[in-house]
Structure 1
């Protein structure tokens, strides 16, 4: 690195120390922002001696990244990553500064969809792992097709990289990169039904003639075995597939890929997709299924993603919500809970959340009446919005806590042992900060 780069790294590390140890802040983004002000080309220098894997898409980036990291570490790789989920350029720079060593390393980087192109202008990945594309933060991305175009622009910067992508997602067939492409998905049902996606589902138009796609089966949203009845367009042949789902619970999922049975310590059908993406990367890198199985069964929680925290005897589970599809997937996960629980819904609308909260009206909160919910608590900076949404959804008996500094104490008063906290990204960070200050977790956000 040149003198400018060294200065950028020095000031980034200094600011990181001050933020973490004196101000007790997260230090996940600002040090990288300072470094880039000093040396705008720093990412290019930091990527020397790194094999880079980029994980992107709307939902599941953080968990997929974490699973990929754990699998690679189990296999013996020296891995660095932006594990906090700070996935824009400055957050990635910050993570590389704090973790990079002089020896050969693998960098597994979660990258925001709009940042794939800026990141790949400075470094060249060996793999892209794409999860899905759903309507999300329309103030930033626009419609789903615009989002995919942003990712494609980044892939075009690395034509030799292998793209590992969700074959069950029709949008990834809209425009294919020239790269070698590997597909993963579900083949767990031996059915030949003729189904249509539910009303108000995005992304169900055929890319060949814009007709409405049909399905032999659906997993959730627009994902599944799709095909066109007007031409030959259909889901591509899968390289890696879930062949059986054995059990779904709020705390774990059991499923099979080929002849191997896996268990992940996190609930929700949607999280099996994330595990399958990590499995597919492992296979492409020559890592055995047994190593992946061993890794998945390690009971290690992921930052802000179905973390289970003991708060004075309350079993508090934090789940991230940020768009209609993700929220509906979380709701379906909650419906697998057999015990009574309390629901805490925290809504913010900062830049990292998306400043438009209208998406909450497309999430199917009404479905939660099927669960055994004994109490509802709403809060966050946009507490009025989520309060009204849940009231209109039939949850009229609710308590509201506008100040998140009081939320931990309020959780202690809820009538059930189990508590599910559904929070947007910055609300989740604020909650974790309060939990850390109260001594229930280590680290803030």
Structure 2
């Protein structure tokens, strides 16, 4: 694992590329404004647009925000137009495959292959934009596509650091052929992986490419919520029953059915706040007649300030996962909890993470997929609340400060071929 840089010399500036800034939620939501406020001049390249809350946060941090290439950057405009055209094609093909679920697997995967090409084109346009706006600044893609790394460097004509959060797309012939044409550009790219498990997956898929480990989540002293802030948020809720927050969309790998069933099995009263998208209404219907539950649902992405208020009101947050390919990715929910100071109930889906958390007094671990075990944990927490994480616990888990992360990103970038 990389040790965050501790040098005194900060980079003169950073170009931070975030293709998903138009979304209110995501891995990068806290990192982008935090890095912009680290004392390093930042140019944020967000060619797919930016949500109002994210724009406000970046401007407050003093960042320069651009949603399109400069007028004179004709290559950037051409790549961006191509990326959008290819994305439209991918959406049409994806709709066709959904209407024909009996098509062969390889054919049903084809729209996702086209989507990867579209993302690569937008990344390349972003790299050319960043290079024109800040020619000497290191370029960092905060939510990089998991494929076509060398092609992005070649089309974008820029060495860069790519933060890859997980690997879930299988490369078929099209992507393998495109990648093979620019293999010589792989020394212009460094893959920064949040966990050793993610790094192992990328090493297997892309042998010979520089891959490193560094937690993506960042921590700063202002993240940690005071007791007064928590009391004020809790006072805004009715009653005095314990509060659990379920943050993020109910994707299959998050095993929402186990959480739903656990609350049905517990006999203690709970307030449950569900926030994020998608939320499965058929699963929520299982709670309709549970008189011991008070359920509030925000079926949408929530902005950072609202997310903080939800965590401030919580006695506990729940992180549930299934075992499998996504089990070793970094849990943004866990990192948010330790940054803010919220106790956690977490499944034992990742053995390495479980071994690190087992001795933490603010964590209760339950068996993956075991709703009875989670129900027991909920009863225990209702009777005897868990202590909060302490302000230094985030750093102990390997989270960097924004200033140290900025230094380390620049160090890695400087080691790449020009």
User: Which structure is higher in RCO with an 8 Å CA cutoff and minimum separation 6?
Assistant: 2
Q: Which of the two has greater strand per residue?
A: 1
Q: TM-score range by the shorter chain?
A: 0.3 to 0.5
Q: Which of the two has greater helix per residue?
A: 2
